[in-house]
Amino acid sequence: MFGRRQGARLLGAGLLVAALGRPRVALAAGKQMVTVVKIAGVPWFNFLEKGLVEGGTKFGLQTSMVGPAHTDPAQQVRLVEDLIAKKVDVIGLVPLDVKVMAPVLARAQQAGIMVITQEGPNQDGRTWDVELLDSRVFGEMQMISLAREMNEAGEYVVIVGTLTTPLHNQWADAAIAYQKAHFPKMKLAANRFPGADEIDSSAQVTRDVIQAYPNVTGIIGFGSNGPIGAGNVVRERRLTKKIAVVGTLIPSQGKPLIESGNVREGFLWSPKDAGYAMVAVASLALAGTKFETGMDIPGMGKATVDVPGKLISVDRILTINKKTIDNVIATTGL
């Protein structure tokens, strides 16, 4: 459906829009789905974009993706407002702040526009949220990994995308709660820090943490660039053996850091599969499909469906370390 990717363009006051390309004429009369992501131009959402393209081709939807130049919820709102004015059929959304987004999504629903979220299980105004993991388990797995690398003792910090990013903070809540219940010799050195969506931001947070909290020996990065920025600083400061870094990352991006030990272990689901699944769910919903647990959803397989909670989920967590990274890259293309 989309033969090539258009270049990025600025929209309004610094809004960067990443467009997926021009639809073929054969689909010009089809339904249109535009997905608003947290930030344009980063590897995570480049992979999600590929899934949107493949899903659009498979299901006959005109799909495209837009996102702000920086992680700013107000810019996400403006992008959604623009899509409401354009009367698109479906808005996809990976939200930065569920409270900020709720009013504009209510307007989208009032306009008859379907809303499919990802990383937004508590986002008001959605039609369905699509998840490829259990949030509690995802957070706990990363704490278990960090605890192992820290010998279950010492101070650690948590870096999230923003302090309002829904799933990042759910993962952080689950990780911290698990630490308190199971690893009493570990201690959270300070409240969580924002910056894990951008390499430079997470690197600066890590530098600040090293200076302000010299006893820290562990970092969890919830956000695909968080472990990258932290791992880069650990490598630069030659703290590989002192500070353990784990977190959400893309294996091809994090491979040098994983292999050198500057990031001990990574976790993720496939953003490409997530994009494809968002389009699949949108297509099924537009066709009036009844969603129920056990149904097969393209790109996801057998799904658990929480109808009252408007949540469709499967367990597709990937673990990335020295032993698994080559196989994960080979099998997922990530």
Would the pLDDT of 99 be above 70? yes
Token representation of residue 145: 């990994």
Would the pLDDT of 151 be above 90? yes
Mean pLDDT of 200-209: 98
Angle of the 135-149 helix axis to the 166-182 helix axis, nearest 10? 50
What confidence category does residue 334 fall into, taking pLDDT thresholds of 50, 70 and 90?
confident
Distance CA 200, CA 306 (A): 38
Q: List pLDDT tens digits, range 272-282.
A: 999 999 999 99
One-letter amino acid at 72 equals: D
Q: What's this model's pTM, rounded to 2 decimal places?
A: 0.74
Residue range(s) occupied by CATH 3.40.50.2300 in the chain: 9-132+270-314, 135-268
Q: List pLDDT tens digits, range 36-53.
A: 999 999 888 999 999 999
Distance CA 80, CA 270 (A): 25
Provide the b/e sequence for 122-138 (b: ≥16 CB within 10 Å).
bbebbbbbbbbbbbeeb
39's enclosing H/E stretch is none
**71, 161 Cβ separation under 8 angstroms:** yes
One-letter amino acid at 249 equals: L
Distance CA 241, CA 301 (A): 41
Q: Which residues contact 13 (CB under 8 A, 6 or more apart)?
A: none
Pick the CATH number of 9-132+270-314 from 3.40.390.30, 3.50.40.10, 3.40.50.2300, 3.40.50.720: 3.40.50.2300
Would the pLDDT of 6 be above 70? no
Pick the CATH number of 135-268 from 1.20.1740.10, 3.40.50.2300, 3.40.50.11860, 3.30.70.890: 3.40.50.2300
